[in-house]
């Protein structure tokens, strides 16, 4: 009985492919690729430009609102009760409009960020597939501190992905 079991184990090891698992696995740090690649930097630069433009527009609207509020405080002593209430109500509406404008800008910038990043991530995924095929990798995982406790630098393909992305100089 022992010899049959031993023979089965030997046959199993002979028949089973002898490829090491580490040679079939790759890791990519998408965040690092975003930060280091030309396309990632361009996307970040585009977003920063949009943020500055929105901040300037909202800053101007806020300054205008503050001027109106200051003027109303100065006029409060000389205005009649009805006129004061009317101006306070109008100022309150402008304050709500300003708050809505801030919220709209935040939502618009978040949407723009998501669109820019998803374009770049799509290109990164395409290049990851290309590198994986070139290296005969069966699996490529996201390098994440919460998921990957340790990984040899040998299986990290992030630098190769950046090199290929930069060579392509993908126009987004």
**Domain holding 144: CATH number?**
3.30.910.20
Tell me what pLDDT residue 109 has: 94
Range of the domain at 72: 24-168
Domain count, the chain: 1
Q: Which residue has the tokens 């406790």?
A: 149
pLDDT < 50 stretches in the chain: 1-22, 171-172
Helix (H/G/I), strand (E/B), else coil: 143: coil
Tell me what pLDDT residue 60 has: 92
**Is position 17 within any domain?**
no
The pTM of this model reads 0.68
Helix (H/G/I), strand (E/B), else coil: 78: coil
Q: How far apart are CA 156 and CA 140, in angstroms?
A: 9
**Is position 8 within any domain?**
no
Helix (H/G/I), strand (E/B), else coil: 35: helix
Q: Which residues pair with 137 in a beta bridge?
A: none
Q: How far apart are CA 29 and CA 131, in angstroms?
A: 14
**Is position 110 within any domain?**
yes
**Is position 87 within any domain?**
yes
**Is position 15 within any domain?**
no
Tell me what pLDDT residue 23 has: 67
Tell me what pLDDT residue 72 has: 83
**Is position 92 within any domain?**
yes
- Which pair of structure tokens corresponds to residue 48? 């920063």
Q: How far apart are CA 88 and CA 167, in angstroms?
A: 60
Q: How many CA atoms lie within 13 A of 88 on its CB side?
A: 11
**Is position 131 within any domain?**
yes
**145: exposed, middle or buried (Cβ count in 10 Å: 0-12, 13-18, 19+):** exposed
**Is position 12 within any domain?**
no
């Amino acid at each position: 009985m022992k010899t049959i079991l031993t023979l089965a184990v030997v046959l199993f090891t002979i028949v089973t492919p002898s490829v090491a698992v580490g040679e079939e696995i790759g890791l990519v740090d998408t965040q690092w690729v975003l930060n280091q690649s030309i396309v990632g930097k361009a996307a970040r630069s585009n977003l920063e430009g949009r943020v500055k433009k929105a901040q300037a527009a909202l800053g101007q609207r806020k300054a205008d609102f503050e001027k109106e509020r200051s003027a109303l405080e100065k006029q409060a002593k000389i205005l009649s009760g009805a006129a004061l209430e009317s101006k306070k109500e109008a100022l309150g509406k402008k304050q709500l409009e300003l708050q809505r404008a801030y919220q709209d800008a935040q939502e618009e910038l978040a949407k723009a960020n998501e669109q820019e990043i998803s374009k770049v991530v799509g290109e990164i995924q395409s290049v990851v597939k290309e590198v994986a095929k070139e290296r005969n990798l069966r699996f490529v995982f996201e390098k994440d501190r919460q998921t990957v406790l340790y990984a040899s630098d040998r299986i990290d393909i992030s630098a190769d992905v950046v090199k290929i992305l930069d060579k392509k100089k993908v126009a987004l």
